[in-house]
Structures are given as C-alpha cells and as structure tokens.
Amino acid sequence: MKLEQDVFPNFYKYRECVVEEPNAELFTGRKQPLEFFWNRLYEQANRQHPWNIAITSQRKSGKSAFLSRCFNLAFWEQDEVIPFYYSLQEEQYRHIRELCYTILFAFAKQAVAFALKDPAIMNIKTPEEIKKFLQKRREPWAKTVLSYWEKGYPEMIEKALGPDHLNHVWLFIDAMSHVFKKRCVFIFDEAQELARCVLHEKAEPLFPDPSRVPAAELQPYIISCHESVKFIHNNPRIWILVSGSCVSMLMYRVIAHGLENRFQKEPMNPLAKEEALELVEKIVHGRKIKAYAGLAEKVYELVGGNPFYITTLFEQKLWQKAKYFDSPAGVETAYQMEVLHPDGKIFRFWNEHLLNNAELLNHESVEERKKTFRVLQYIAGLQGQTIYYVELEEKFPDIENLMAKLVKLREADFLLTDVDIYRRSGRIEGLRDRVLAVFLLHVFYEELLDNPSLEKQQQAVKMLRAGMDIMQIQAELGKVRRHVKKITHRVENLDDRQTDAGKQITQVRDEVKETRHESRRRAKKVAAEVKNLAETVAKVDRGVKSLRGTEAQVKGTRKENEVCRRVRVALEKGQGFFQRYTLVGSLTSRNFKLDNGKGYELDIVGRIREEKSGREMMLAIEVKDRKTKVTAADAEKFVRAVKTVKQQEKLPVVALYLDTQGRFAKSAAGLLEKCCIRYGKVEEFVQ
C-alpha cells in the first residue's frame, strides 16, 4: 500500500489492534490530527524530512489513544515506513538495563510483525521465542535481525554506562531502517518518564525489585535519560512523535537543551462539538442507555469535548447508586457524582494530581502555600478568559513572589503556557478545562493539604492492623489446639503398645499437662490482648464517627462560602436584589451574644451602602442547607441576632434568611414577615 499526499485511509476501521487502544470502539473524531500525521508519514516515506512532533496538552485529553491509533493505522494501511511504538508506564521505576532490553524486545517484535503483516508476533512473550521464530524464517533479513537481536545490541548495552545504554536502543531503529531499506517513525508515549523513573545500573544489586522499595530510597539512584533522544533526533531515517502526561516535564526537560527547534509542538485539543455529540451517541447506543432528546447537548455543556470526562460520566460500576440519563437533572446528578463527590473518578484523578504536586506548588510555610492556591483558584475562576499580568499583581499586592508561584503552577501542569513570556506579553490565560476549573473552585485547599482524610487513613490502618493482630492470635491458638489434639491422639494409641508403654504414657501425660497449663496461660494473655485491641478498635471507631461529623460541618461551611461568594459578586455587579447597594469592606461570618445570654453565629455579615441615599447599613444573612423546613425556633434565633447587630452597630439592618430548598414552616414565615425580614430560596436573591 503506497502512501500518497492528501489520500487518507479509513481512520476509524482497520483489521485489528496491534498495540492496545483504550476504548477503541469509542474512538471518535481527531480527523484533522490524523490527516496531519498521515501527510507527515508520506513526507517521511519520500525523504522530505518532516519535523519531529511533540504533542502537548493537559492530562486525560486522549493523547495515548491517539498515538495507539496512529501506530495501528501505520501498521495496517501502508508498507513504506516502519512504525515503532513504546509507552513508559507512568511513575514505575525501572533499572536502566531492564528498560533497554524491554524496549529492544518490543522493537524487534514490531519490526518483524510489520515486515510479515502478522500481529500474532506481538504475542511472543520471551526473547527465546523470537529467537526460535527468526531461526525458522527463510527471508533474507531474518538472519541479520537475529544477529542484531541476539548479539550485537545486547553486547553494546552491557558495555555502556548510565544514560548511554539507551543510545544503542535508539540505534536499533536506525539498524532496522537499513535492514528493511525503509524509513521509520518512532511513536513514544509518556516520554517524560525518561527524566524521573529510570534507575542507574548501580541500583540493580541493591534493589532487585524497585516496585517494593519506597520512592525516597530510590531517589539517589535516578538518572535522567531524557537527553538520549538527542542521539536520533536529527537522523533523517527516523521521524519522532512524542507525548506525555506531564507537559511541563516534557516541554522543559525532555525536548529542551537544544531540541526545542527540532520539535514542532502540536496541542491535543478537546473534541469539537460535533465529535463530542457523536461520542455520546456511540456510548448511548452501545450500552443501550435510556436517554432523553437533549442528552448529548447537556453533556457537552457540562464537560466540553474531553473524551475521558464524557466516558466517565456514563460509567456505573463504581457506584451503588444508579445513574439516570432520561432527564437533565439525572445528567447533572451524574456530573456531581463524578466531579464533586470524593468517590468520583474525575474528582479522585484531580485530587490525586493536586496532592502529588502539593509540595511542588509550595513547600514553604502554610501561609505561602495558601497564597499559591489563592492565585490558582482565581485563575480557575477566569473560565478560560485572559487576564494581564499587571492586573494579577494588583489583585494580589500582598504576594511579592508572584512570578515564582506562576512558575510552580506551570511545573505542576495547571498552567500550560511558558510563564517566562508573561513578562513580555503580559497576558495569562485562564483554565480552558471547565471541569478542572469547577473542581478547583470547590476544593478547600488548606483542608485538602492539611489532609484530614490522611488522619482517617491512619485510623483505618490502625483498625486494619488491629484486625490482623487478632487474626494472628487466633492462628496461634489454632496451632496450640492442633498440638494438644496431636498429643492426645498419641496418648490414646499408647495403650496398645509394648509393656514399657506405661512409662511413655506417663511421660506424654506430663507433657500434655504441661502443654495445657502453658496453653491456658497463653490463652489468658491472648484474651487480655484481644480485649485491649477491641478497646482500641472502639476508640478508633469513635474517632472516625467524630470525623464524619466534622465532614458534615465542612460541607455546610462550603455551602455558606459559596453563597457568600455569590452575594459578593451580586453586590459588585449590582445584580438582582442587591442592585441598590454597594459593598463597604468585606463579607464574613461573626459570632454575637444574644439578649438571652446565648451565642449565635451569623453566616454572612458586612457593611453596605445604599446608592440612592448614601446611607450605610448592615447586611445580615443566614444560610440553611438541610432537608427539613426552617422552624419558628430557627427564625426566632435569627430575629434576636438581627436585633443584636442593630444595637451593637447602631445602623439599620438589611436581613435575609435563605434556605437552599426554600422550605419554611408557616410559623417561621409569619415571624420573619412580622419582623420585616425577607426570606426565600437562595436563587431568588443571588444568581
């Protein structure tokens, strides 16, 4: 099959997957990037020296699926360029020699499989199998490939030191190009792992299995092999297509240091709207989901064109509560389950990413760390809009090292633009990923990084260990019982033995008596230990229940903060009920001592000014978020609090009682109306 300029195969159908594609049956869109790839493949076949490509985009944007599809198309739909593919597993530490042999083995199988158009060769599991396979082949190239694989390159790898080991792996691609007299394309996924997860050969005798060793112990032996790509980047016989989940690492380490001008950077954008709608239709029909007419439009409105978000929204297996897509409310519930719930797949993905980068974002004091997250949350709130660096400096006058914090955010892959250009252009773009922006705006960073969940994990570990100790003690008791049973059996059999059996019986009985005494002593000790462990488990359980209560309080505080933010925006923009007023100072929560001597916390308190008269007033708002109605007792407490504010501040009070459900008992409504206090649902007063 000959390659031709602007003549493309069917990108969405081929014989079978040679390299595994995640959700291959759902692959949708990407027509323009695939056409770009195919034309570059044509240029490589016709010796036009195409630019090497680095795919840059945010995590979970479909890069791996795209690269796998590129390899499978190049394998089946043309014969002129040999495709090679390798994907490093993210955050999996590997010894340098082991990595080299693994890549070399994969390359040898891919070259032979492509030459014979036989994907079954990819199922060969050991080097010995590929050796036997090549020995049986009659093709002229078989002996040459066998000699390279069996002796040449392994010997060179063994003699090399440090990162130079990989140079010979890349040279193997060039060798295959000469053997088959064809040019090559090297598709390399998760390339950033070359800079952070490869171990020096000195670590092999110390850590035979790195997966069982804490990462901190491996750090001194990590070698950065990213510069080995230089060894082939200028080879006209090899065209390179790289990508990775860590954009910052890929852009500023792997293809830096002289390679920037050798790679053309291409973003992996979200699916276009038509493509996203098509993907939703594929999922709905493939899984036979009951859906209403506007489902696809609603999904695109919520998560945009990110394939990971779209497919995750329809996953059911991790949830006991079923998802329904027969109404807009059902879609929004599924969205909240995945994005805003701690058990949601999207929430857990970004939560883990945030925790992994917590130290990178700011390893200084807690106050400095909070400043970093203030900047991040503000940029997230821009929802893709552009802000100028000067405005950012004015917004955060208390942050002296603002540029350093932007650099940290870029290194953590929350900003994808080179922050060095901020000083020159003065422009900073907000996050284009609307789901990530929503996640960042709803997470309490101080609590997240102080990590109360970590305390829960530690308590759970204690309970798990306590349970394991009990199981171990029970196992010991079982051994004692079996031992006693065995001795008793021996005693019963001694009666039928010879005349000297009496002495043996006496000896065995003494042994049994002593063993029983010892077992009773041990049993008492074990019982005491079990009792202590049970008390420990009960104590831990009480602690977990206490933490659950704290979680409920945090959830309520989160809703109050959200309403406070919306009220502040309404005052600043003059929206709805608040269009007559302007904010003087800030909005906070405050505790007041009522006339009955009891304390009361008002959720939102601040000073406002009436624009028409210029009079200053106090704003007092109570926010309730619960399933039951607001009672007269609740309303009476609020009325007392309003009177206290008025007496202490000596100013008129504009009072609002807001409930997320808008449910008020008749007695509560009557009392509020009598005291000229407005009440209702949150959305009736703020957008």
Minimum mean pLDDT among 15-19, 264-268, 331-335, 646-650: which range? 15-19
Confidence of residue 457 (pLDDT cuts 50, 70, 90): very low
Asked whether residue 238 carries a pLDDT value surpassing 60, the answer given is: yes
Is residue 592 within 8 A of residue 645, CB to CB? The reply is yes
User: β-pairing, 599-610 with 581-593?
Assistant: antiparallel
121 falls in which pLDDT band (50, 70, 90)?
very high
What confidence score (pLDDT) does residue 248 get? 52
Nearest to residue 169, comparing CAs of 194, 134, 205? 194
pLDDT computed for residue 588 by the predictor: 87
pLDDT band at residue 243, thresholds of 50, 70 and 90? Answer: confident
pLDDT band at 446 (very low <50, low <70, confident <90, very high): very low
Provide mean pLDDT across the span 209-222: 79
**263-267: strand order across its sheet:** 81-87, 183-189, 238-243, 52-56, 263-267
Dihedral sign for Cα atoms in the order 514, 517, 522, 525? negative
Comparing 149 with 644, the larger pLDDT belongs to 644
Q: Which of 527, 495, 489, 496 is nearest to 511 (CA)?
A: 489
Q: Is the pLDDT assigned to residue 297 strictly greater than 90?
A: yes
Average pLDDT over residues 278-307: 92
Q: What is the pLDDT of residues 564-587, one digit of tens each?
A: 888 888 888 888 888 888 888 888
Contact criterion met (CB below 8 Å) for 571 and 578: yes
- The answer to which of 45-59, 325-339, 527-541, 593-607 has the lowest mean pLDDT is 527-541
pLDDT of residue 523: 77
- More confident call, 130 vs 50: 130
Residue 549: band (very low, low, confident or very high) from pLDDT cuts 50, 70, 90: very low
Query: pLDDT tens digit string along 478-516?
Result: 556 666 777 777 766 665 666 666 777 777 777 777 777
The mean-pLDDT minimum among 197-206, 338-347, 537-546, 611-620 falls in 537-546
For residue 255, name the pLDDT band (cuts at 50, 70, 90). low
Model confidence at 472, pLDDT cuts 50, 70, 90, reads: very low
Alpha helices, H only, 495-584: 501-573
pLDDT at 417: 55
Average pLDDT over residues 179-195: 87
pLDDT at 550 over 60: no
Mean pLDDT of the chain: 79
Residue 416 is predicted with a pLDDT of 58
- CA-CA distances (angstroms) from residue 559 to 510, 622, 623? 73, 12, 8
The predicted structure's pLDDT at residue 322? 81
| Lookup result for tokens 């001592």 | 593
Q: Assign 628 a pLDDT band (cuts: 50, 70, 90).
A: confident
- What SS3 state is found at 93? coil
Q: What is the mean pLDDT of the segment spanning 311-330? A: 83
Band (611; pLDDT cuts 50, 70, 90): confident
The confidence score (pLDDT) of residue 465 equals 36
Maximum Cα–Cα distance across the chain: 120
State the pTM of this model.
0.61
Q: How confident is the model at residue 605 (pLDDT cuts 50, 70, 90)?
A: very high
Segments in 118-250 forming alpha helices (H):
127-136, 140-147, 153-159, 164-180, 215-218, 230-233, 247-249
What is the rounded average pLDDT of the residues 11-39?
Answer: 85
pLDDT of 209 reads 83
Distance CA 576, CA 572 (A): 11
**Pairing label, strands 616-624, 599-610:** antiparallel
Give, in order, the Cα–Cα distances in Å from 228 to each of 170, 184, 199: 9, 18, 15
For 95, list phi and psi in degrees, rounded to 5.
-70, 145
Q: What is the pLDDT of residue 448?
A: 42
What pLDDT is attached to residue 155?
72
Q: What integer pLDDT is reported at residue 360 of this predicted model? A: 60
The residue among 361 and 435 whose pLDDT is bigger is 435
**Confidence at residue 426, expressed as pLDDT on a 0 to 100 scale:** 64
The residue ranking higher by pLDDT, 102 or 411, is 102
Q: What is the pLDDT of residue 593?
A: 84
Residue 445 has pLDDT above 70, yes or no: no
State the pLDDT confidence band at 219, using cuts at 50, 70 and 90: confident
| Model pLDDT, residue 38 | 92
Give the pLDDT of residue 91.
Answer: 61
> How many Cβ atoms sit within 10 Å of the Cβ of residue 669?
17
pLDDT for residue 413: 72
Q: What is the mean pLDDT of residues 304-330?
A: 85
Neighbouring-strand partners of residue 222: 199
DSSP string, 446-503: HHHHH-HHHHHHHHHHHHHHHHHHHHHHHHHHHHHHHHHHHHHHHHHHHTTS-TTHHH
Contact present, 686 and 566 (Cβ < 8 Å):
yes
Mean pLDDT of 338-343: 83
Which two structure tokens, joined as six digits, stand for 32?
Answer: 């323009």
What tens digit of pLDDT does each residue of 384-409 get?
677 777 888 888 888 888 887 887 77
Asked which of 44-58, 298-312, 342-356, 524-538 is least confident by mean pLDDT, the reply is 524-538
pLDDT above 70: residue 236: yes
Partner residues linked to 387 by β-bridges? 428
- At 97, the pLDDT band (50, 70, 90 cuts) reads confident
Given a cut of 50, whether residue 460 has pLDDT beyond it is: no
Buried b (16+ CB within 10 A) or exposed e, 483-510: eeeeeeeeeeebeeeeeeeeeebeebee
Least confident of 235-249, 251-265, 284-298: 251-265
Higher-pLDDT residue of 229 and 113 is 113
Check if the beta carbon of residue 208 is closer than 8 Å to that of residue 231.
no
What count of other Cβ atoms lies within 10 Å of the Cβ of residue 577? 16
Tokens 């709608």 appear where? 277
Strands in 653-659's sheet, in edge-to-edge order, are 581-593, 599-610, 616-624, 653-659, 678-681
Whole-number pLDDT of residue 456:
40
CA atoms within 13 A on the CB side of 338: 25
Q: 471 — phi, psi (to 5°)? A: -65, -40
Cβ pair 398, 370 in contact under 8 A: no
Position 247 pLDDT exceeds 80: no
| Choice among 48-62, 101-115, 324-338 with the minimum mean pLDDT | 48-62
**Alpha-carbon gap, residue 124 to 646, rounded angstroms:** 82
Q: Which residues pair with 609 in a beta bridge?
A: 582, 616
Contact call for residues 663 and 629 (beta carbons, < 8 A): yes
Instruction: Go through the chain and tell me how many residues it has.
Output: 687
Say if CB 591 and CB 599 are below 8 A apart.
yes
Give the sign of the dihedral formed by CA 193, CA 199, CA 201, CA 204: negative
- Give CA–CA dist 67/86, Å, rounded: 10
The answer on pLDDT for 58 being more than 80 is no
If you average pLDDT over residues 532-552, what whole number do you get?
61
* Alpha-carbon separation of residue 361 from 195, 376, 398, 427, 438 (angstroms): 19, 10, 18, 21, 19
